[in-house]
């Protein structure tokens, strides 16, 4: 287990803010019982901020016949849709809702070349609602496998998550299970796969990034 590099930007700021609030609480409420309660709350918040940026030590379930989950979370959508941003045809959409307590690292569902990266500004609806896929701020990344099969993974901001980070650019080569992005503090990732794949999970199932098999080609 280690801390994600995004955490080194946020954790010090969060700790300074909490420390400033703690000083004010101490000066105003140190003689009252509520002081101890508020100090406990402050400690819990500090621990949660650190917990948000954890990166577990995992070995990806690498297999060219698998499409892996790009994120930890809960499967909230499995349905055929018309994907109109890139493919402009029918695909199967698999959506993973990431709560604030999930790991926020995003991993490549397949290996290959990144042929498309597009960040689109938008709203910040709750990530578990359907319209978030098309109306929220989002970034779509398309991975082209060696056999030219393309998989689109779309990072979507939510009501709490206000920052999407995508580290890879068009033309980069990436390995399956390698990190390609990060979302603060939880949100949603939509994966668009070909219609002829075998779906390997069900609604409400928990996913583990780089480990859970969303679909397979055989």
Active-site entry in 132, 133, 140, 187? 187
Of 173, 170, 175, nearest in space to 210 by CA: 175
CB atoms within 10 A of CB 146: 10
User: In residues, how long is the chain?
Assistant: 218
Residue at token pair 């990266």? 117
> Considering only CA atoms, which of 154, 214, 152, 159 is closest in space to residue 186?
159
In the annotation, is 187 catalytic? yes
The 3-state DSSP class for residue 122 equals coil
Token look-up 């100090």 returns 39
User: Tokens 């500004």 appear where?
Assistant: 121
DSSP assignment of 187-215 equals: -EEEEEE-TTSEE---TT-EE-TTTSEEE
A 10 A CB-CB count for 179 gives 18
How many CA atoms does the CB half-sphere of 190 hold within 13 Å?
28
Please identify every residue annotated as catalytic: 187
């Amino acid at each position: 287990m280690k801390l994600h590099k995004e955490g080194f930007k946020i954790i010090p700021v969060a700790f300074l803010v909490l420390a400033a609030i703690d000083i004010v609480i101490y000066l105003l409420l140190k003689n009252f019982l509520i002081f101890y309660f508020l100090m406990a709350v402050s400690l819990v918040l500090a621990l949660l901020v650190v917990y948000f940026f954890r990166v577990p030590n995992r070995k990806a379930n690498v297999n060219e016949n698998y499409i892996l989950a790009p994120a930890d979370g809960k499967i909230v959508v499995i349905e055929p849709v018309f994907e109109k941003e890139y493919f402009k045809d029918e695909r199967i959409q698999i959506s993973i809702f990431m709560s604030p307590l999930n790991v926020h690292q995003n991993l490549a569902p397949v290996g290959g070349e990144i042929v498309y990266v597009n960040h689109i500004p938008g709203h910040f609806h709750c990530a578990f609602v359907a319209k978030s896929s098309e109306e929220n701020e989002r970034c779509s990344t398309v991975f082209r496998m060696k056999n030219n099969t393309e998989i689109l993974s779309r990072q979507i901001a939510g009501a709490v998550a206000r920052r999407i980070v995508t580290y890879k650019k068009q033309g980069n080569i990436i390995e399956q299970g390698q990190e390609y992005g990060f979302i603060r503090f939880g949100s949603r990732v939509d994966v668009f796969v070909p219609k002829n794949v075998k779906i390997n999970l069900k609604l409400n199932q928990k996913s583990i990034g780089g480990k859970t098999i969303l679909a397979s080609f055989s």
